[in-house]
Amino acid sequence: MGRARVPAGRLRRVSREHQARSLPDKASLDAVWGEFRRTAGDNLRNQLIEHYLYLVRYNAERIGSKLPDEVDVDDLMSAGIFGLVDAIDAFDLERGVKFETYCAPRIRGAILDELRNMDWVPRLVRHRAHKLADATRALEMELGRIPNDDEIARRLNMSRAQLHKLMRDASAVTLVSLSRKYSDLDSQREISEIDVLPDDRGSDPVAEAQKRDLKDLVTRGLSRAERLIVVLYYYEQMTMKQIGQTLDLSESRVSQMHSAVLERLRAQLQARQREFVPEPR
């Protein structure tokens, strides 16, 4: 919004002092409004802000109840105060409208504007994500199960390719804080999202050990050239021509050696086939 954020500590302190500082009766409030309209003094504006601060908290808590836990109500109040100040400055006593009615939309608007500025996802993408979610929920209620892609595409009147693009766009909408508490009813200790988030870039140590054992078994008893052919072809995904250039051999010679190695390995594995078959219990 381009304006300084009101510190959260200041908001909490003002909220605690609100009852003590709020104007005691309607006559006092009307007098402050009248004097403020004549002088526009900062002290009078501050009195009005502190008196109507409960409206900011009320709207901030209502909006915050529909947002993730990571969104702090004090941050929403910080934005809402700017809407309250604008409403106080622009309020016309002559129109006979209650200030509470007049300022509520401005407070909500200021809070929503701040949320939009904080949102890194374009509004069109978020709108499409909501559209996809609404269609999916409606189909789940109608079918009593999770709908498939074809059913969702028909409901949205689009092709599968368009639906998959929409799903890719929608998947970028959701962000999860790694410090957020993870809900696990069976666990007695406090768990965060980062404790249960799978690392797709990591490797499974059991699978890596199995690959290493299989590689040792396959290459055991082979010459250096034969071992390099197996490793470069199956593990490094090189072509016969590239292997020949690496080993200074012709492509046909590499192919012959590869075929010979396969025949010998096939015979060795067949002889040890019983080792790979689990014994009956």
Average pLDDT, 10 consecutive residues per value, the chain (281 residues): 51 48 67 85 88 91 80 85 91 84 91 78 70 87 87 88 80 58 57 66 80 76 85 87 90 91 82 64 54
Q: For residue 23, what are the contacts with CB-CB under 8 A and spacing of at least 6?
A: 29, 32, 47, 51
Tokens for 143, please give them: 């079918």
Residue 99: CA count within 13 A, CB half-sphere: 22
pLDDT at 256: 92
pLDDT at 177: 60
Give the CA angle between residues 82, 84, 88 to the nearest 5°: 120
Identify any residues that bridge with 192 across adjacent strands, giving them in sequence order: 181
CA distances 169 to 121, 126, 147, Å, are 10, 9, 19
pLDDT at 193: 61
pTM above 0.85?
no
* Contact (Cβ atoms closer than 8 angstroms) between residue 192 and residue 182: yes
pLDDT at 107: 93
* Contact (Cβ atoms closer than 8 angstroms) between residue 121 and residue 173: yes
Domains observed in the chain: 8-118 (1.10.1740.10), 123-179 (1.10.10), 205-276 (1.10.10.10)
